Structure 1
Amino acid sequence: MQQDSSLIDAAALSLLSTFDSKLVVVRWWQLMDKRIGVIPLPVYCFALVCLGFLLAFEKVSGDISIMFALLAVFGFTCAELGERIPGLRQIGGSVIVTIFLPACLVHYTLLPNELVQSINDFWQLTKILYLFIACVIVGSILSMDRQTLITGIVKIFIPLAAGSVLATIVGTLTGIALGLGAHHTFFYIIIPIMAGGIGEGAIPLTLSYADILNLPQNQLFAQIVPTIVLGNLVAIICASLLNQFGKCHVRYSGQGRLYAADDDALAKPTDASSVTVEHIAAAGMVAICLYMLGVLVQKLIGLPAPVAMLFFTVFAKLTDAISPKLENGARTIYHFFSTAVTYPLLFAIGITITSWSDLMAAFTVANIITIVVTVLTLTTVGFFVGKWVGLYPIESAIINACHSGMGGIGDVAILTSAHRLQLMPFAQMATRLGGALTITVALILLGLVS
């Protein structure tokens, strides 16, 4: 009898041990399913501790694994913070905090110098922004329906042109009313906002201004950069508000789709199980080769590499040069970069490119009102004219907003705020081609009035 009791106790203890073990595993899995961005919470905590020790021992290097862990942890932390601040989260808080909080911390030297220097070195050496843009553009274009792509390219220039003209008129009149003067408002506020960013916009614009006006280029550059930064911030807020509006009024939103008539074609499901690692790797090489081809064109004729790559990708899509399996691989690459790389990239942009002092320099009442009116006019016209030409109004307005961004960097921030990174090809057209046309017109007019 005593032996039977012992056997029962042993069986019960074994069962309890098994139950406890399974319960611990289940609890652990539940904890692993909680995430900061895409990072499981225990992994996030472990990575944060490791990075803390590396920073304390000044052992942060340019090793790509460490740099990606660093950017991911801090980028997704900023995004999570922005999503949890009441009021701010409704106007693109995750993007605003991820870009401008690190810029503020760098300005007031509240971040370790080694961290800032490591990110700067990594940014300069890798040029990772161009890899991101290449994969997003190629992935989104190859994922589109062919007819939608053709129609979108043709139609998007109508709201973009109308918005640019009306924003110029309304913005200039606003500046005049606030005492800024027509010349200053037009050439130093309106044109920089729509010039295509810093590298492809502000630099060539101010170099040309300097030649025409016989003024130092660095002085002109310092004068217009704050306007570009603040215009980009207003565009981010507009894009986020448009996204919120689209959730409440779904008939105006394509949820990232541009052209209403092709919803059925765009909604066709893809067989994700047919996509293999080889297809994804091959699609990645297609994106890289198309970008290299764009760089070659830039060296030969001066056309920006992302724009040349965009044209080549469109040509490849329209001529069926890419097989359906590789198109599915490109779609997977697009989803990976848009999900896992966007916020780490935005954090790096905040550290390396965004200037807090430039942003603060633009904060005068007259400047703020003029910039806000200009961007709002550009976006609003995009909404109504886009609807008139048969595009989804919200998508059309967001693409117009990208025309007032900081180039490729601004496009990433604006489209992320609107949760519509798949519009990157059209945003690049608005930013690059629209910026080039804006600069050309401005220089012709400046030559005539000088």
Structure 2
Amino acid sequence: MIAAPGTALVRIDTNVRHQSFEGWGTSLCWWAHHVGGWEEARRNAVVEAVVDPVDGLGYNVFRYNIGGGENPSHEHMKQHREMPGFQRADGTFTWESDANQRAILLRIAERGTALIFEAFSNSPPYWMTHSGCASGSSDGGDNLKAEYYDDFAHYLTEVVRHYRDEHGIVFRTLEPLNEPHASWWKSNGSQEGCHFDRASQEKIIQEVAGQLASKGLDGTVVSASDENSMDDALRNIDAFGPATLAAFEQINVHSYAGSKRKELRRLATELGKRLWQSESGPLGQDISDDTDAALFMAERIIKDLRELKPEAWVDWQSGDPSRSWASFTLDDREQSYAPIKRFYMHAGFSRYIRPGATFVEVDSEDMVAAVSADGSYLTLVARNGDRNASRGYTLDLTRLPTVGPAAEGHRTSRTEDLARLPDMAIEDYRLVVTIPAYSITTFVIPMP
């Protein structure tokens, strides 16, 4: 096929299949802890914005934070970041804790579809730590006391059991670690965190897996290790011993830092582990406005999906005081939310690439393509990061088994919020499109 004048030729090949996709998601801390305290109808409206696949984000993957619980005498964590814990120092459990996050979780369970739940921990309870503080140790080193590894695993697995037995929520995975290699988790910090060196990671992974098994919690398996850097994840997991590798079934990684996406994908495949991009956001980026945040994150998503090839892509915060991290703003006085650019950017992926889709080959680093679970359509998402010039493409569809007469389009830019475009004619398996400067466009190509 020859490209139309002034356009670049891009081939899509549905015969070259990549990861089968489980879905899109978000963690629940800290926004659910925040919004869960609103009046019921108003917090439910936020849940609809997150789970509705037509007018909302259509997310189906949710990470529930098992709070460690901070020392009651400490007052250093930022608002909404001090997550309630369930276990007192005397060993007794207080299941009435964490009512806000739980309210959101249970509403999601009522309203969402094809749901996958994960439970994760940022820190052990403060009384299990060396520093007596849930934000980290005094020097950024290991903070869980040696004699409390079994107690910490007991704590996490008891929470999993409680949610299964009392609320009917089965967490498919339980993650006892969060950015454990990082050395910035120090006492008197702004949020929960805990360093674990590699040997300590292996110890807690095996302990949690053992207690899940001994308690008959066979619906839940361990995931690890949620490193901040993909390079750290690759290095540490590649060095895990056989007993540790056998103790967990899913690799979680954050895509904030590192470059070894392809290498980590290869390792996950070799080990037979499911791989999630379990947290991301514009960490350390100079973001000047909402559109910059949307375009940056669209680039991150596309790169992750093309190179890391995760089975799920999970955002960190759907609502956050920092706009560049959020898909919607939150107004406590009115108990209301308002979508911003990242909402529409994410929806351009998540409404049209649905759970069960399979990613396929497209030979442009600025695009991803996926075939729907039923094979009835292909979704292509294209990003143009040039601030000044549009880009033209001739999409070669000859490697699709069949195509319909026209493609549907949706665009987010500085002036558009997932705006519906006029249908575009497909002629002789060729679709000619223009992506305006600094925009993200979703094309839905029927395959009847």
TM range (shorter): under 0.3
Which protein, 1 or 2, shows the higher relative CO under an 8 Å CA cutoff with sep ≥ 6? Answer: 1
The structure whose residues are more often helix, as a share, is 1
TM-score (norm 2): 0.22
Larger radius of gyration: 1
The structure whose residues are more often strand, as a share, is 2
TM-score (norm 1): 0.22
